Structure 1
Amino acid sequence: MTASLHLSSFLLQTLSLLLMLPSFSFGIYSSDPLLSLDYYKSTCPNVLEIVRKEVECAVLSDPRNAAFFVRLHFHDCFVQGCDASVLLEDTITLQGEKKSSNNINSLKGYRLVDRIKNKLESECPGIVSCADILTIAARDAIILVGGPYWDVPLGRKDSKTASYTQADTNLPTADEGLVGIIDKIYGDFESTSNKDPISESYLNKLKSVCPITGGDNNVTAMDYVTPNLFDNSFYTILLRGEGLLHSDQEMYSSLFAIVTKDLVKKYAADPIAFFEQFSESMVKLGNIMDPDNFATGEVRKNCGFINT
């Protein structure tokens, strides 16, 4: 099954942690002074407009593209910081991150990023980094599907390295978080939804779309209420016991969900609070970087390959 716009629980939980933690245990630090809101003011003044137009075209053609942009940015920043290492292809001298276990079946949208990069290279050759493109695109994608706005400091560099190992170890996986979290095809409907008619109807539909065997390429939404909008309905679904994934529903239903249960209630009742928290977390996420990679980085001409 494939999710629509809504990020899975482990990603949302990690963004919550980003808001609370002053630093990061894996040796990458938040570095606001290195970035600025007007970084491209003189060198590429139309950068934000160009990215916005391209993201808008992508999202209008398929709303799921919004989630692809956000997930690419997230997977990039948690490996060596926000340096576009996630976009690098395998070569004779470099092993990229695309084929790591956490990326190979979950990341899409590479061609969308390449399209934006090509537009910017025509307008401002050699100026705008792929890392900045990912960061801007993630913000614009969220806005286009009803989410909040946040300022995006710019000036990131593209790394000349990638880390297949870090992609396997630094990125959170669907079975992390609450004790005993594992993925299940149909969530915990039988035990958590009280078997009301709406839940039963939804469960039957899921079983037809996603059979026990086969149907691996079929698509369904994690949020059946507003699948094409970024909003707080994900949390209201958890309150009804209808979380599609077991790992999602555990945020509310688990005996160990002492903190997350209150967060689910808060964000279900107050969409503004959810938007504010999400925006702050995304700013903090975008500021993660490795100072060494920043110092030796470059602006790639092609996002998939280091410059020669």
Structure 2
Amino acid sequence: MTGSSAPALSSAITAVGLSKSYGDKVVLDGIDLHIPEGTVFALLGPNGAGKTTTVQILSTLVRADAGEARIAGHDLVHDADAVRAAIGVTGQFSAVDNLLTAEENLMLMADLHHLNRREGRRRTAELLRRFDLTEVSAKPVVTFSGGMRRKLDLAMTLVGNPRVIFLDEPTTGLDPRSRRTMWEIIRELVAHDGVTIFLTTQYLDEADQLADRIAVLDHGTLVAEGTAEELKRRIPGGHLRVRFADPDRLDAATALFGAVTRDTESLTLQIPSDGSIPTLRAVLDVLDSASIAAESLTMHTPDLDDVFLTLTGRPRSGDAATSPKENAR
């Protein structure tokens, strides 16, 4: 290969063989991770898959039974204090003090990070402004909406300027507008601050919107990893839905294609497709060559819901058989 290539991104998180059991229950079964700096990594999986345990281990809250990991270049076990200094954690439930104001909550975090009073006030004012909380800074948090509380919770995480942030179900319980506000904040942290985000979520559209890479965890094992598009391409079921104006055209089109699903009531054919432009063009060329006009054409490609339901919820060896959809509920 000739010419220069862009340098590889440094790793914010690496893990090899992380395992954790509680008694006879295996929660994590030897997972490996490689997450570059300045990216969003999403970990998906049904309840009980091991997502929160993974976050707890990587954030030094729980010790793994086996395996090793490095966060921001620091060994998880032998340099735990340096790991804690480099990370921030925002859990599923807001950690703010309801009896304090937004400003007091942030100043408390500044004290915990041993910032002097002047720097603490500067940092507090900056974060209040950044999260659009300046006007309510003197109000007790108990009066805040869910979206405002989550913004303050994330702002408190940023007081220590972490390089890696663990967001465990960060938008649970938020309304659609508040969720999208949080998405914009997360994107800005990565784009402008170079922060690495480790996101766990059960909102599949959230992972689709935010994540550079996605891993799917089931029964403590990583069953798939890749970009959202790479994961979707692994799942069968993509098709073109072509509608015709009358039964004659439907009959003529049916004769042209082999493995198709025909719906005489809606006058449509469902033609298997990988979602690519060449496949779409080939179908249109066949219809055009036969002078068969289609009324409409829509393309369906598998989404992350399909990925989730296909890859998760299968019983462990020895468990009673249960369908993926039943376990994913």
Structure whose residues are more often helix by fraction? 1
Normalised to the residue count of structure 2, the TM-score between the two structures is: 0.22
Q: Which has the higher strand share?
A: 2
Of structures 1 and 2, the one scoring higher in RCO (CA 8 A, sep 6+) is 1
TM score, norm. by length of structure 1 = 0.23
Find the structure with the greater CA-based Rg.
Answer: 2
